[in-house]
Amino acid sequence: MTDTVHTQNQAEEEERDNTVNIVIDGVAIKANEGELLIEAAERNGIFIPRFCYHPHMEPVGMCRMCLVEVSGPRGFALQPACYLKVQENMEVMASSDKAKRAQEGVLELLLINHPLDCPVCDKGGECPLQDQTMSYGPGESRFIEEKRHFDKPIELGPLTYLDRERCIQCARCTRFAAEVAGEPQIDFAGRGDMTMVATSPTRPFDSYFSGNTVQICPVGALTAKAYRFKSRPWDLEQAETTCTLCSVGCREVAQSSAGELVRYLGVDNLTLNQSWLCDKGRYSFEAVKNGRVLTPLARHEGVLEEVRWADALADITAGIRAGLAKGGGDQIAVLGGAKFTNEDNYMWARLAKGVFGSELVDAQLGDGFNAELALALPRAGIEETVNARTVVLIAGDLKEELPVLYLRLYQNLAKGKTKLIEISPTHTSLSDLAKIKLSPRPGELFSITEDIFDVTKNSVGSLKDESVISSIRQFLDVREETSADDGEGIVFVVGNANLAEAPIYLEESLKLIAAKLPKAKFLPALRRGNIFGALDMGLGPNLLPGRINKDRGDFFRRTWGTLPASPGIGTPEILAKCAAGEVSVLVLLGADPLSDFVDQALVQKAFENTPFIISLASHMDPSATSADVVLPVPYMGETAGTVTNLEGRVSVLGQKVTPPALARQPWLIAADIARLLEEDFGLYTLEEVSQEIADTVSLYRGVSLASLKRFGGDGVFVPVKAAKVKIASSTKSIFDPIAVPGIASVEEQGAPIKTGSAKPIALQDGNTKDSSAEALAKGDARLISLADVTSATRHAGGLDVIAEPKSDKYSLRLILQRDLYDAGSTLVNCPTLASLGGVQEILLAPSAASGFGLQNGSPVNVTGRGQMIEAQVKIDKSLSPGLAVLKVNKSKANDIFSADVSDGIASGRAELLVDASALVTDIRLETKHDKKKELG
């Protein structure tokens, strides 16, 4: 592999036409017009000390550490480099006596009230205040007075402590909260040297993004509950990796101390997460230690017992042979894969489809939409999305489902860089920023989409306000005469906003939009970790590795030997087959349908009626507990391999800690089973699997672990269009605070230093087998297109069912959504996050609530499908009467660790009310007998 065509410098030179000539410390420098002096200096290797400056936030000039002498009409004067923009012929003295005196003065002043408790401070050793004091500060303090005192530390929120004595009032955290997260929950109170960061008296700092303030705090004022006193920076080892808790796939470093995972820090890359993480991802490292499956388990006489791997695999092989003997591949179902790597998923796809011959394979668990459609839609990247002319959100609340995508979108919407049209059934975190907000009722989405695009239609279907439709048409440039360029610059962020509604409304809408706006792009908001990697590797109905439709699978039929004969079906139908006793073996690839599928009655029946259930699980979740064989697999931080995010960005997982001794990687388990079935794949190492993907999957051609490790940076986008690809981000950040002396720690993470334009590289070398090229040449490995999408099978009547079903007047129509802190295995196994789960709340319109005589907080019984659950009423003014909103995987009890945990979760589970085969779900309320009221 070789670098080709450009050097980084040449590329930079070419792109820069608005250069400004400045001189810093006698060195002539070319800066970009409008660039901040501190950034221009840094790009040219001159470091100006700073605390409050942060590259992803507006400058405030508070700390005054970056004072340098700058030439002006009245000679040289001290100016802060962090908000001064470069100007032609500007002369700067960054290390003159006067500048040094000013910097030294600021540092001395910063330290007078600082407690200097470095030996017991989490930040000690990676502290910009410590580091810059060493480099720029006075040797000794002349301060003999009493320092300022505060109670310390105070709890700022459920995950964060604040030590106000250590705070240097740089406003990084307050700016993050207001500017980046859009949640100004913290601000300054008091004044002068008693200025402190504070929350409102009525609401703690409970933002989903609070951990970022800890990461960017330049001192140890903000500390994380989960990390406090866990380690010293010099004891940390680290590896760059990708978070796999949701499909955004934030780049981060996993840090361990004494072999134990203790911290995740966001990596600064310009096009993905820009160093930010959500709290769930950041603090999920705690789950590594809790609730793990440590050894293979097999059920003997009804009880799961520890067994040897060989015995477990022998049981499995026997079960699979029996199933195959009974009715071929259709007897074996494989669900899940979104928690696994691409290598794991490729091997399982090959095993399931190429060895078992099964099409009962789906990595989604009924909460997304048609996988073929999701892969066929023209894909947008995150950067393209947040900078689009118009973003149309047809999905749920991004802050709950894909938090860091929300963060990126919020900032650009707030700055007016893009416009938002929101078509989402409930009020989301972005609704207030939307130019147009439409709230379709369940079952109404397709008719709204038709209204928007059927320009000739005289009356607008279900919507009263025709002007809303016409203004959406204006935003989307929908006219009577269509052109092939329609949709240019528009990105649709699309996902299933209501789990109690059949996805067909969304699917048909998407097909219509894609047909009407040929240039529009889509960012599918499928939520699960590596769901896109799993689907790309073929773990979806009718799919083969590389986003290829099964009908075009000749290449894989030849190389794998066989392909399934039956048509593929999705998880709801697979589980229905299981429930009907038509499936012999159910393999769960890290999937936990017993707590993670919307129709719980169906799952329970499926588990009862499937004779042999195999669970590959990192944690002892409810499905593993009910399985017949449980195989321990690694968790985040313990896994090596590659993953693909929702943009199609392939990145490398860094394995930081060793998995439990007996855990085996899922790809290895697949290889073992294949070998035991006498279908040896001949792949014995992770690198070999990765290379096979790079060689045979056309979409991933050349994208292997080896090439990514060498050139990948923060990931490479697939499909790779040519032999040369653009690296997703060329920003490389230095993380080890000890490795780089001086101000190397958190600062380096923040600064987009020495970034150039993406550098074209060659991912292919002469030695690749490149059989995918051969396949491509024959045209049988073409990427799936909209025309290839198998029409939805669940509602064969097609468009006839696309009208909104009628409801009776006693019922409420249910909108079922997911929030970030659901009682899934992350929350259950992370002590710090556990209390954030919250109770099941039912959102009702004010009129609906008052109709039932209910107030905020009233307990209520919710019934449907012969089941009853309990919830607390929350009145939501934005909701229309006739609708109710519930959340999945919520417990009745507030503390999911309380004694009645299983009971609590069960009696609050909205999933009991939903029939996965129905188009929409209606529920009824039963008010609880209020004893207090009666007595009063």
Partner 1 sequence: MRGKNNMLNEPIVTKRMGFEDSYTLERYLATGGYEGLRKALSMTREQVKEEVNKASLLGRGGAGFPAGRKWSMLRQAPTSYLVINGDESEPATFKDHLLVERDPHQLIEGTMIAAYALGVSQAFIFTRGEFALGIERLTAACNEAYEYNAVGKNIFGSDFSVDLVIHPGAGAYICGEETSLIESLEGNRGFPRIKPPFFPAVTGLYGEPTVVNNVETMSNLPWIVLNGGDAFAALGQGSSAGTRLFALSGRVNRPGWYELEMSKTTFRDLIYDKDLGGGIIGDKKIKAFIPGGVSAPWFFEEHLDMGLDQDAVAKAGSMLGSGSVVVMDETTCVVRASWRITRFFHRESCGQCTPCREGSGWLEKIMRRIEEGSGRPEDLDLLMDVCDSIAPGVTWPPQQTTICVLGPSIPSSIASAIRHLRDEFLEHIKLGHCPYEKDHILTGAAR
Contacts with partner 1 by CB under 8 A lie at 59-65, 67, 77-78, 80, 83, 98, 101-102, 105-106, 108-110, 112-113, 142-143, 145-146, 148, 168-169, 187-188, 190-195
Residue-by-residue DSSP string for 904-922: HHHHT-GGGG--TTSSS-E
- Least distance from partner 1 to the Cβ atom of residue 61, Å: 5
Q: Rounded distance, CA 760 to CA 367, Å?
A: 37
Structure tokens of 415?
């700055």
- Least distance from partner 1 to the Cβ atom of residue 130, Å: 17
- Least distance from partner 1 to the Cβ atom of residue 138, Å: 10
Using an 8 Å Cβ cutoff, are 320 and 679 in contact?
no
**Nearer residue to partner 1 within complex by CB, 40 or 854:** 40
- Least distance from partner 1 to the Cβ atom of residue 191, Å: 5
Q: Rounded distance, CA 788 to CA 797, Å?
A: 19
Q: Rounded distance, CA 372 to CA 613, Å?
A: 27
- Least distance from partner 1 to the Cβ atom of residue 163, Å: 17
**Nearer residue to partner 1 within complex by CB, 62 or 245:** 62
Tokens 């499937």 sit at which residue?
A: 610
CB-based contacts of 515, cutoff 8 Å, min separation 6:
786
Q: Beginning with the edge strand found earlier in the chain, give each strand of the sheet holding 154-155 in spatial order.
A: 154-155, 160-162, 222-224
Q: Of 213, 220, 285, 287, which is closest to residue 252 (Cα–Cα)?
A: 285
**Nearer residue to partner 1 within complex by CB, 79 or 623:** 79
21-34 burial, b at 16+ Cβ within 10 Å, e below that, comes to ebebeeeebebbee
* Element housing 673 (H / E): helix 666-676
Q: Rounded distance, CA 383 to CA 746, Å?
A: 24
**Nearer residue to partner 1 within complex by CB, 133 or 610:** 133
Q: Rounded distance, CA 384 to CA 71, Å?
A: 40
Q: Rounded distance, CA 512 to CA 442, Å?
A: 18
- Least distance from partner 1 to the Cβ atom of residue 40, Å: 17
Using an 8 Å Cβ cutoff, are 344 and 665 in contact?
yes
Q: Rounded distance, CA 516 to CA 510, Å?
A: 10
- Least distance from partner 1 to the Cβ atom of residue 198, Å: 11
CB-based contacts of 222, cutoff 8 Å, min separation 6:
156, 160, 161, 162, 163, 173, 213, 214
Q: Rounded distance, CA 549 to CA 861, Å?
A: 45
- Least distance from partner 1 to the Cβ atom of residue 39, Å: 16
**Nearer residue to partner 1 within complex by CB, 142 or 809:** 142
- Least distance from partner 1 to the Cβ atom of residue 189, Å: 9
- Least distance from partner 1 to the Cβ atom of residue 74, Å: 10
- Least distance from partner 1 to the Cβ atom of residue 829, Å: 41
∠ Cα 309 351 652 (to 5°)? 85
**Nearer residue to partner 1 within complex by CB, 58 or 765:** 58
Q: Rounded distance, CA 364 to CA 575, Å?
A: 12
- Least distance from partner 1 to the Cβ atom of residue 79, Å: 10
**Nearer residue to partner 1 within complex by CB, 52 or 792:** 52
Query: Is it true that the peptide bond before 59 is cis, omega within 30 degrees of 0?
Result: no
Tokens 């009971």 sit at which residue?
A: 903
**Nearer residue to partner 1 within complex by CB, 89 or 467:** 89
**Nearer residue to partner 1 within complex by CB, 106 or 543:** 106
* Element housing 863 (H / E): strand 859-864
**Nearer residue to partner 1 within complex by CB, 166 or 441:** 166
Residue-by-residue DSSP string for 324-378: HHHHGGGGEEEEE-TTS-HHHHHHHHIIIIIII---EEESS-SSS--HHHHHHSP
**Nearer residue to partner 1 within complex by CB, 77 or 799:** 77
Q: Of 553, 555, 595, 597, which is closest to residue 575 (Cα–Cα)?
A: 597
**Nearer residue to partner 1 within complex by CB, 146 or 808:** 146
- Least distance from partner 1 to the Cβ atom of residue 419, Å: 20
**Nearer residue to partner 1 within complex by CB, 171 or 245:** 171
Q: Rounded distance, CA 935 to CA 793, Å?
A: 55
* Rg, Å, the chain Cα set: 29
- Least distance from partner 1 to the Cβ atom of residue 137, Å: 12
How many helical (H) and strand (E) elements, i.e. helices and strands, does the chain have? 32, 38
Phi, psi of 124 (to 5 degrees): -50, 125
DSSP state of 440: P
**Nearer residue to partner 1 within complex by CB, 168 or 239:** 168
Q: Is the four-CA dihedral 545, 793, 371, 345 of positive or negative sign? A: negative
Using an 8 Å Cβ cutoff, are 196 and 189 in contact?
yes
Q: Rounded distance, CA 705 to CA 20, Å?
A: 41
**Nearer residue to partner 1 within complex by CB, 188 or 475:** 188
- Least distance from partner 1 to the Cβ atom of residue 410, Å: 20
- Least distance from partner 1 to the Cβ atom of residue 82, Å: 9
Q: Rounded distance, CA 548 to CA 545, Å?
A: 6
**Nearer residue to partner 1 within complex by CB, 5 or 194:** 194
